[in-house]
Structure 1
Amino acid sequence: MVDYFPDFIARQTVAYTGVASAVALLFDFCITFDSEVRWTWGRKWGITRISFVISRYLPLVGVTLMTRYAVEATHGGIANYAMLTPVSDSCEYIHFLGAFAAEVLLLVRIYVFWGCDKRFLVVISVFSMATAIAMLTIAGIDKIGNSTDSTHRVLEVDKNASIIYGLLVLFELVLLSLTLYKRFKTHRLENSPIVVTIYRDGVIYMLCITLVSMVNCIVIFALPSSYTALLIG
């Protein structure tokens, strides 16, 4: 019989990290809900608001499923493996869609920074699509490989996922560079509070998500397979 739980401590670590992530997300949701009501409710529905709602609420569903999945996978035993597989697949789709919506918000922000230049929009859209296609291709290859691999374990991702996060790091570094370039090239003399806040907070946010993607890439590539899902949720 295949041992799906060779490293119980690693499984527990991944599960508890998922629970901690869920708590942090819920805490952030609660303390920012009043700002959401003030600035987004009642506004027209467009690509920006749709992307915001998806990136805001879909992760709440994702972390709920992921927490249940992690706890069941750690304590439920091998008998629950078949039952947990659809939950795992749902978590992957939700995670991807939420991340995609968040990246769309970054693209809209940078498009506005660049003066809504149509040529810039075409270039950055082509770059974004090429990156997304490359990531989806790698994910699809991994999915096919895992579907024919009877030893594939729950709470683990394929090592090739490090390439996906590497591409994501590259994408986010490009967006960060474009933001910094526009700030110091065009708006360096613009010191109004709103401009300073928008650029500062945007740069801090992109630095944080780039760092997380980079750490995820390293964790998946360097650590044992039991830890590969440590930061996925």
Structure 2
Amino acid sequence: MRFTTTSTHVVCLTMEIVGAMAAVIFDYCLTIPQEVQLIWGRKWDVVRVTYTLARHVTLMGTAMTTYAAVTNRSNDTSCVTFNNVSYGLHMTSIIAAEGLLIFRTYAFWHENKKLLKWLLVLAAFSILGAVGVSKVVNTFLLTNPPGTDPTGCVFGSGKGSSIQYGFLINYELVLMILTIYKRFSFYKHVRTPLVTTVYRDGIIYMTCIIMVSFTNIVVALVVPVRF
């Protein structure tokens, strides 16, 4: 079966999106027993609310992205509301995931209130910067020229999205540096399973986020727009 160049791009993109959705569902299913054991039955404090948002909103946002990628919306008059909801879900899931890392770092630093306030202020500036700067880039540098798709039904993203991943990487580096510093300055001779797990898993997780975010930046800036 032969495809035109455009059709090949669409097929590749669709396969990537569906694959990502499958990975999210697979991970979700693998961790259900741990969720039942460790989360269910806990009181609804800020940590559980943050976890619930990171856990379930991610599924909703990924499902909406997958739907937008695999369906033909060319006959729809407007997809702006759908896109705004999808974007909001993705932003919520990212912020919630970062919130869990903030709580982890906060606990690792013996619940230092000043550190928590500093991290929250930095997070707020990072969110505002990521959203604001990317919109400016997309609007004034014409990476997504206004009027090209007034309905919002063409699936795609502008190069301004690389700005958002840049802010995310910077914040992850701050959390990673704080974790590494505390590990070797205070817990240097501690070998308890809890400290080892918090440190090791945190560093692995943040390293993965940084690597994937860097890949997204490269893709947004280098790969042709048709992809």
TM-score calculated relative to the size of structure 1: 0.86
Q: In the TM superposition, what are the counterparts of 1:185-200 in structure 2 within 5 Å?
A: 185-200=185-200
Q: Which amino acid aligns with 1:16?
A: M
In 2, distance between residues paired with 1:89 and 1:133? 17
Could you say which residue in structure 2 is the equivalent of 1:230? none
Matched, 1:66 2:62: no
Give 1:25's aligned residue: 24
Q: Which residue number in structure 2 is paired with residue 132 of structure 1?
A: 127
- Residues 165 and 213, structure 2, Cα contact 8 Å, conserved in 1: yes
**Identity fraction in percent:** 31
Distance (Å, rounded) in 1 between the aligned partners of 2:64 and 2:47: 26
Kept after mapping to 1: 8 A contact 2:138/2:159:
no
Total equivalences in the alignment: 219
Q: Structure 1 residues 113 and 167 mapped into 2: Cα distance closer, same or farther (>3 Å)?
A: same
In structure 1, the partner of 2:98 is 103
Contact 1:114–1:182 (CA<8 Å) still a contact in 2? yes
Unaligned runs of 5+ in 2: none
TM-score by length of 2: 0.88
How far has the Cα of 1:64 moved from its partner? 1.6
Alpha-carbon deviations, 1:39-74, whole Å to 9, x = none? 0011111111001001101111112211111011xx
* 8 Å CA contact retained: 2:159, 2:220: yes
3-state SS of 1:45 partner: coil
2 CA distance for matches of 1:127 and 1:51?
A: 18
Question: Is contact 1:51-1:104 (8 Å) kept?
Answer: yes
The 1:14–1:94 alpha-carbon spacing in structure 2 relative to 1, beyond 3 Å, is same
Given that 1:11 and 1:155 are in contact with CA atoms closer than 8 Å, whether structure 2 keeps it comes out as no
1:209 to partner: Cα distance: 0.9
Query: Once structures 1 and 2 are overlaid, which stretch shifts more, 51-60 or 129-138?
Result: 129-138
Q: Deviations over 1:13-36 (max 9, x none)?
A: 221111111111111111110110
RMSD: 2.2
Superposed CA offset, 1:92-137 (max 9, x none) = 1111111111011111110111111112122222211111111121
1:79 partner SS: coil
What is the SS of the residue equivalent to 1:7? helix
Q: Which residue of the partner structure matches residue 149 of structure 1? A: 146
Residue in 2 aligned with 1:79?
75
Output the CA distance in 2 between the equivalents of 1:65 and 1:123: 34
Structure 1 alignment gaps of length 5 or more: 228-233
Which residue is equivalent to 2:174? 174
Give the structure 1 partner of residue 113 of structure 2: 118
Point out which structure has higher relative CO (alpha carbons under 8 A, 6+ apart). Answer: 1
Query: Which residue is equivalent to 2:206?
Result: 206
Task: Tell me, yes or no, if the aligned pair for 2:50 and 2:100 is still in contact at 8 Å.
Answer: yes
Measured after TM superposition, the shift of residue 90 of structure 1 is: 2.1
